[in-house]
């Protein structure tokens, strides 16, 4: 209740500020509502998109794209990116803890455990491509015009090559000659409070200022306070149009994310044995327990941790997140005699500090600073029968990271600087062969230069020695006796770790911290500590030509048939991975045929798409074996995969006040070639295996090759169905009641590469509903909402922990509340 009072006061301040800013505007002119409802006699409305670097309706864009307008984002409770799959069936956004966000689209994506691996689905904010997903997707959605999701490789017109697709977050722009404002306030269970507000000021005839702000808060969905929200943001844009041919828009934004952060819960634990792994469930711990409760800690302390094989400790601190994202950008548009020139300079900075548990670490820590600068220039025009877009792009990024991933008997410590410089030239040509038939071709040349300068050290406490003594022999060795083996604290330097071991009597006084690998015998004879030393200084260049060929045919004035084939590429890179410092690029070729249609005076909309993608050398993250036979966590390239299916998108307005919608996706994915090479104790993989005949560096642990060919790609449910209904009931001339229900179904899907039973996300329904009383002219509304009516928390991110636990982050429970909106 105290939190609600604190945050509610901030909402009141925001609402008063917006009202005060908008009040002079209301006195000067009767401004229309920010987003009034469509007229009663209107059919299905149009959404304007810019996915092809030009303004066009969603229905006239001959590409695979979903778009969600700003009002629909609010109505569906989509306040950040991980809820976008409510509106976009093909998309999955996950966060397993810390600063890393993973994005999958139709199975194409990567589980992100670090910040030097580029996303396969590229995020953009206000036309600026983002090198890291966390900034855009950790921030709140507010005062947005729309979010566009492009499905398939984006190898021509977008700032960085993407193999899976692109997610474009597009804010509302300043409007000339208009003074207006608006806000939305909400309260709900879990002490949820939220506010979003904006004002738009016309500054004479040629300039306008738009300022928007938000604050979102709710208590944690888990008992340890995790899965909470505490986000605040502000954005300002200044538009200046000195002539009818020149437009200059400046923008700046700032977001702070705080609180506890994403959290998971124990499902159970795996114990290795001579005949494989035995799973034992975490009895009495549910999906909302979290890691840092008395009950969860009591369970944790019953488990042995490899390779020390002592009982694990309770978590040593509460997790937290403290992140700031800010950026400056501009858009300069000039109409010339040969076309429209658009220039987009931008600079962005991220500062991120977090303690997090991830897959049951105790406790991981990351301190990271990212900065990026980019410049894009495009010229778009028309010559005879040809429309053209040509341009160039430059991108420069630098990441500094210090972190540790404490597993109690294993303490990985890393620090690195990673740099990327990328430039590209691109062009796309559309030939209007006839008034109804068009041919499209495009090329892009991309050149990436990447480098890494860092080091990873591991402190590893072994029971007995190398190879370690395992249970039950470890008990006789005394490794399970409290205090016999060190449980490492959360150190980020080797020097303080060695000093701590000396001060606590584990290793001999005078032990040194040298710039190489070392062994430290435990003074009590229970085991030995190894310190690894792996500096990585490497750099390289990657380049590729990507292409697109397509055709469009207007079957009728409101019926479009389109087809395309295009290629995508994601650059290779460098990593902190012992003996395996680099990984190769990945490639995709996508074949698409689709149709977009309107019937019966815009009362029926039917869009169809069929697709077939060939995916090669996917970049995946898992435990494998280095060239010098050491077990490591690394990014590696998978073999080949096929992705095929179809989308059906139907919207119907049988009456002027009734809207029905249905989105269905069928998705068939299969790895044609996927071999995971690893060894005990990271060999808990549900795929057939053969022994390679080689052994780890201890000389006794066999290296195994698991053949996962035939398995589906991650986050690729075979069937996805989204259904919606909205009914408007007039209440006299001034008011109307609006009710809506949206439900979605996902068939089963896997969320991790081990393909274990708990990593298979079971089929589920998810249903939301809204009931709103609003003024017919759109000036005021008050409503109630409920999300996840079923009140079932489903697995969102399953993880097989290096310590042996099965853990998962879950979706939100049932939430409900009230929402008040006004516009001036």
Q: What is the pLDDT of residue 262?
A: 92
Condensed to tens digits (0 to 9), the pLDDT of residues 251-298 reads 999 999 999 999 999 999 998 887 889 999 999 999 999 999 999 999
**What is the DSSP code (8-state) at residue 470?**
P
Is residue 754 classed as helix, strand or coil in its secondary structure? Answer: coil
How would residue 31 be classed by pLDDT, with cut points 50, 70 and 90?
A: very low
pTM of the model: 0.91
Pinpoint the alpha helices (H) of 493-622: 494-503
How would residue 3 be classed by pLDDT, with cut points 50, 70 and 90?
A: low
How would residue 454 be classed by pLDDT, with cut points 50, 70 and 90?
A: very high
Condensed to tens digits (0 to 9), the pLDDT of residues 684-713 reads 999 999 999 998 877 888 889 999 999 999
Residue 8 has pLDDT above 60, yes or no: no
Mean pLDDT of the residues in the chain: 90
- For 287-385, strand residue ranges (E) read 304-305, 310-311, 320-336, 339-356, 364-383
How would residue 422 be classed by pLDDT, with cut points 50, 70 and 90?
A: very high
Residue 114 has pLDDT above 50, yes or no: yes
126 contacts: CB under 8 Å, gap ≥ 6: 169, 170, 171, 251, 329, 331
Decide if 165 contacts 124 (C-beta within 8 A): no
Q: What is the pLDDT of residue 136?
A: 61
Decide if 63 contacts 51 (C-beta within 8 A): yes
Q: What is the pLDDT of residue 285?
A: 95
Residue 27 has pLDDT above 80, yes or no: no
623 vs 747, which has greater pLDDT?
747
Structure tokens of 602? 């815009």
Nearest-angstrom CA–CA distance, 82 and 96: 12
Residue 355 has pLDDT above 50, yes or no: yes
Residue 140 has pLDDT above 70, yes or no: no
Mean pLDDT calculated for residue range 369-373: 96
808 contacts: CB under 8 Å, gap ≥ 6: 264, 265, 267, 287, 758, 795, 796, 797, 798, 799
386 vs 55, which has greater pLDDT?
386
Residue 13 has pLDDT above 50, yes or no: no
Q: How many CB atoms lie within 10 A of CB 431?
A: 15
**What is the DSSP code (8-state) at residue 804?**
S
444 vs 54, which has greater pLDDT?
444
Condensed to tens digits (0 to 9), the pLDDT of residues 297-306 reads 999 999 999 8
Q: What is the pLDDT of residue 4?
A: 53
Condensed to tens digits (0 to 9), the pLDDT of residues 506-562 reads 999 999 999 999 999 999 999 999 999 999 999 999 999 999 999 999 999 999 999
Instruction: Out of 75-84, 246-255, 664-673, pick the least confident.
Output: 75-84
Q: What share of the chain is helix, strand, coil (3-state, %, to 5)?
A: 10, 55, 35
Mean pLDDT calculated for residue range 419-440: 96
Condensed to tens digits (0 to 9), the pLDDT of residues 473-503 reads 999 999 999 999 999 999 999 999 999 999 9
Share of the chain above pLDDT 90, in %: 73
Instruction: Out of 461-465, 586-590, 631-635, 776-780, pick the least confident.
Output: 631-635
Q: How many CB atoms lie within 10 A of CB 777?
A: 12
Condensed to tens digits (0 to 9), the pLDDT of residues 791-800 reads 999 999 999 9
98 vs 724, which has greater pLDDT?
724
Count the alpha carbons within 13 Å of 231 in the hemisphere toward its beta carbon: 24
Mean pLDDT calculated for residue range 98-114: 81
Nearest CA to 713 out of 103, 104, 93 is that of 104
61 vs 390, which has greater pLDDT?
390
Structure tokens of 247? 């437009």
Condensed to tens digits (0 to 9), the pLDDT of residues 378-403 reads 999 999 999 999 999 999 999 999 99
- For 630-715, strand residue ranges (E) read 631-637, 640-655, 658-673, 675-679, 689-695, 702-707
Nearest-angstrom CA–CA distance, 751 and 759: 6
Buried b (16+ CB within 10 A) or exposed e, 688-719: ebeeeeeebeeeebebbbbbbbebbbbbbbbe
Residue 1 has pLDDT above 80, yes or no: no
Is residue 407 classed as helix, strand or coil in its secondary structure? Answer: coil
């Amino acid at each position: 209740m105290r939190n609600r009072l604190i945050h509610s006061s901030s909402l009141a301040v925001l609402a008063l500020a917006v009202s005060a800013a908008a009040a002079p505007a209301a006195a000067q002119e009767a401004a229309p509502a920010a987003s009034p409802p469509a007229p009663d006699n209107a059919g299905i409305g149009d959404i304007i998109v810019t996915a092809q670097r030009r303004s066009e309706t969603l229905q006239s864009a001959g590409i695979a794209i979903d778009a969600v307008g700003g009002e629909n984002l609010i109505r569906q409770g989509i306040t950040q990116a991980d809820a976008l799959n409510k509106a976009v069936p093909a998309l999955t956004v996950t966060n397993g803890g810390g600063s890393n966000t993973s994005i999958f689209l139709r199975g194409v994506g990567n589980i992100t455990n670090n910040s030097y691996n580029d996303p396969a689905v590229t995020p953009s904010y206000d036309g600026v491509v983002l090198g890291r997903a966390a900034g855009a997707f950790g921030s709140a959605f507010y005062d947005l015009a729309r979010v566009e999701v492009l499905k398939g490789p984006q190898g021509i017109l977008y700032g960085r090559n993407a193999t899976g697709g692109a997610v474009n977050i597009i804010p509302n722009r300043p409007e000339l000659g208009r003074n207006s404002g608006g806000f939305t306030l909400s309260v709900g269970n879990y002490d949820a409070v939220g506010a979003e507000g904006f004002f738009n000021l016309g500054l004479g005839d040629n300039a306008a200022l738009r300022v928007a702000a938000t604050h979102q808060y709710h208590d944690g969905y888990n008992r340890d306070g995790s899965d909470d929200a505490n986000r605040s943001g502000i954005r300002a844009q200044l538009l200046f149009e000195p002539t009818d041919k020149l437009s200059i828009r400046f923008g700046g934004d700032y977001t702070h994310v705080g609180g506890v952060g994403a959290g998971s819960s124990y499902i159970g634990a795996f114990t290795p044995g001579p005949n494989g792994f035995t799973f034992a469930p975490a009895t009495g711990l549910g999906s909302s327990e979290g890691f840092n409760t008395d009950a969860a800690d009591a369970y944790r302390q019953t488990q042995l941790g490899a390779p020390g094989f002592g009982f694990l400790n309770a978590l040593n601190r509460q997790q937290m997140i403290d992140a700031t994202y800010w950026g400056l950008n501009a858009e300069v548009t000039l109409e010339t005699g040969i076309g429209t020139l658009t220039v987009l300079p931008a600079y962005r900075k991220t500062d991120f500090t977090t303690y997090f548990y991830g897959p049951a670490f105790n406790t991981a820590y990351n301190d990271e600073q990212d900065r990026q600068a980019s410049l894009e220039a495009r010229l778009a025009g028309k010559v005879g029968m040809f429309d053209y877009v040509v341009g160039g792009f430059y991108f420069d990024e630098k990441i500094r990271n210090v972190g540790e991933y404490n597993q109690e008997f294993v303490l990985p410590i890393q620090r690195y600087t990673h740099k990327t410089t990328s430039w590209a030239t691109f062009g796309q040509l559309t030939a209007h062969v006839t008034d109804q038939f068009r041919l499209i071709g495009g090329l892009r040349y991309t050149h990436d230069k990447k480098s890494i300068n860092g080091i990873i050290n591991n402190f590893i406490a072994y029971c007995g020695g190398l190879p370690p003594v395992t249970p039950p022999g470890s008990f006789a060795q005394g490794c399970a006796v409290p205090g016999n083996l060190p449980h490492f604290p959360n150190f980020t330097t080797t020097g303080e770790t060695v000093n701590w071991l000396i001060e606590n009597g584990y290793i001999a006084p005078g032990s040194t911290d040298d710039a190489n690998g070392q062994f430290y015998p435990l003074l009590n004879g229970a085991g030995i500590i190894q310190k690894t030393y792996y500096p990585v200084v490497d750099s390289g260049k990657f380049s590729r030509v990507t292409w697109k060929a397509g055709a469009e045919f207007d079957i009728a004035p409101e019926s479009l048939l389109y087809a395309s084939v295009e290629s995508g590429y994601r650059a290779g890179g460098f990593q902190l991975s012992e003996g395996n410092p680099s990984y190769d690029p990945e490639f995709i070729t996508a074949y698409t045929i689709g149709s977009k249609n309107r019937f019966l005076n815009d009362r029926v909309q039917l869009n169809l798409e069929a697709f077939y993608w060939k995916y090669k050398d996917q970049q995946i993250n898992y435990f494998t074996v280095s060239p010098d036979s050491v077990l490591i966590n690394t990014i590696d390239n998978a073999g080949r995969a096929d992705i095929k299916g179809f989308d059906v998108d139907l919207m119907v307005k049988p009456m002027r006040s009734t809207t029905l919608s249905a989105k269905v996706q069928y998705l068939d994915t299969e790895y044609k070639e996927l071999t995971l090479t690893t060894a005990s104790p990271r060999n808990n993989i549900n795929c057939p295996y053969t022994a390679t005949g080689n052994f780890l560096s201890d000389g006794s642990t066999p290296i195994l090759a698991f053949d996962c060919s035939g398995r589906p790609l991650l986050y690729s449910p075979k069937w996805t169905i989204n259904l919606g209904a909205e009914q408007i009931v007039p209440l006299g001339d001034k008011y109307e009641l609006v009710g809506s229900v949206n439900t979605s179904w996902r068939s089963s899907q896997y969320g991790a590469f081990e393909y274990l039973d708990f990593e298979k996300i079971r089929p589920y329904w998810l249903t939301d509903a809204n009931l709103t009383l609003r003024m017919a002219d759109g000036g005021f509304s008050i409503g109630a909402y409920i999300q996840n009516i079923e009140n079932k928390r489903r697995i969102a991110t399953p993880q097989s922990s290096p310590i042996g636990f099965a853990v998962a982050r879950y979706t939100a429970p049932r939430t409900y509340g009230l929402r008040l909106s006004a516009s001036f």
